[in-house]
Amino acid sequence: MYKIVSIPGDGIGPEVVAGAVAVLKQLSTKHGFEIVIEEHPFGGASYDLHGEMLTEKTLEACKQCDAVLLGAVGGPKWEKLPHEHKPEAALLNIRKELELFANLRPAKVYDALLEASSLKAEVIRGTDFLVFRELTGGIYFGQPRGYDDNRGWNTMVYDRYEVERIARLAFEAAQKRDKKVISIDKANVLEVSQFWRNVVHEVHKDYPDVELSDMYVDNAAMQIVRNPKQFDVIVTSNLFGDILSDIAGMITGSLGMLPSASIGKHHALYEPIHGSAPDIAGQGKANPIATIASVAMMFEYSFCMPDIATEIYQAIEATLASGLRTADIANPGELSVSTTEMTEAIVRHLGA
C-alpha cells in the first residue's frame, strides 16, 4: 500500500491534481496495488480555512506519508499579505520542514510537440535533460536578509554538506543516463560559486565514469536555447536552477508540460513547475500533463517502479500523437480540449 498526501492548493491546482489522481486510480486498478490518497489544504486555500498557509496537521500528514502530490499555490487574493505569510513562503517552509534538498526538473521534448515550441524543431528534437536544483540553501534561505526604505539585502551562502549531497545525486543520476554532468555557477564573480565549484569537483573524484564540466550561468541560459541537446544532467544552486529550469520549460512549448520532484533523505514531494494561473482557474483550460508526469516521477523515485513511470510517459506521448492539445500547447486556430478531456484520454491509453 502507498499512502499519498494530496495538497491541491490554489488556482488551477485542484484541477490538475484531479487529473493526476485519476491516473493514480487507473494504475492502482490495472496493476493491483493499493493507493490511499489523503487530501489536505495548503497555501491560500488553507489560509482561507484556518488563517495560516501551512497548518501543523497538513505538515504532519506530509511527514507520515510515502509521497506528497502538490498542485500550485498563490494568487492575487493573497498578494498583499506580509511576505512571511504569503503562499510562496509556505512553499519554502514545507520544503525546509521536509528537508527536500534536491529539486529534479526534467526537460523532455515529445516528438508530437516539436511545433509547439518557439524554437526550431531541428534545434530541440531529441532534447532530454535533467536539472538538479539545490532547494534548501542559497540566497532564498541565507541570512541576513531584509530591506528598509533605502536598501534591500540577501545573503547567498552554502555549506559543504549542502553542495556534496546534491552533487552526489546528480552524479548517480548521470550514471544511469549518458554519464555527463554540467555544473552551473558564476565562479568568475561570486566567491560562493567558486566554493560550489570546488566541492563539486571533489565529489566528482568518487564518480570517475562520469564526465564533469563547468559552465557559467549566463552562458548556460544561452546554451539551453541554442543547443539543448548538449545537456544530460545539470546541477546548480537554488537561484540559478529556478531560472534555468523555467527557460527549459519553453523548449517543451509550455510550462504546463514540465513535472518536478523535490527529494530529501526521508520525504519527497511531486509537483508541476507551473504556477496557480488564477486567470484560467475553474475554466477547464489547464494542462494536466505536468502534474501527471510528476506522478511518473513519483513511481520512479519514491516507489522504485520505473516501468510504471515509463507507462505514464508512453500514455502521454500516445495522447499527444493522437492530436489532442490543451490551449497552452495548441497552435493558433487549432481546437483545444479541456483539462478533463486530456486526462480522460491519457487514462484510456493507460488502460489500453
CA atoms within 13 A on the CB side of 252: 26
279 flagged as catalytic: no
Whether residue 186 lies in the annotated active site: yes
- Residue of 10, 185, 232, 242 marked active site: 242
Is 246 among the catalytic positions?
Answer: yes
Q: Which of 2, 10, 86, 186 is catalytic?
A: 186
pTM of the model: 0.88
Please say if 111 is a catalytic residue.
no
Examine the residue annotation and report whether 307 is marked as an active-site residue of this protein.
no
Considering Cα of 216, then 218, then 221, then 223, what sign does the dihedral take? Answer: negative
Candidates 2, 47, 110, 140; catalytic one: 140
* Cβ 130 vs Cβ 233: under 8 Å: yes
List, for residues 178-234, the tens digit of each pLDDT value: 999 999 999 999 999 999 999 999 999 999 999 999 999 999 999 999 999 999 999
Binning pLDDT at 50, 70 and 90, where does residue 29 land?
very high
Distance, C-alpha 121 to centroid of its chain:
24
- How many CB atoms neighbour CB 63 within 10 A? 14
Domains of the chain: 1-117+255-352 (3.40.718.10), 118-251 (3.40.718.10)
What digits encode the pLDDT tens for the residues 223-236? 999 999 999 999 99
Taking only the tens place, the pLDDT of each residue in 293-343 is 999 999 999 999 999 999 999 999 999 999 999 998 888 878 899 999 999
Q: What is the pLDDT of residues 50-101, one digit of tens each?
A: 999 999 999 999 999 999 999 999 999 998 888 888 888 898 889 889 999 9
Looking at 25, 218, 265, 279, which residue is catalytic? 218
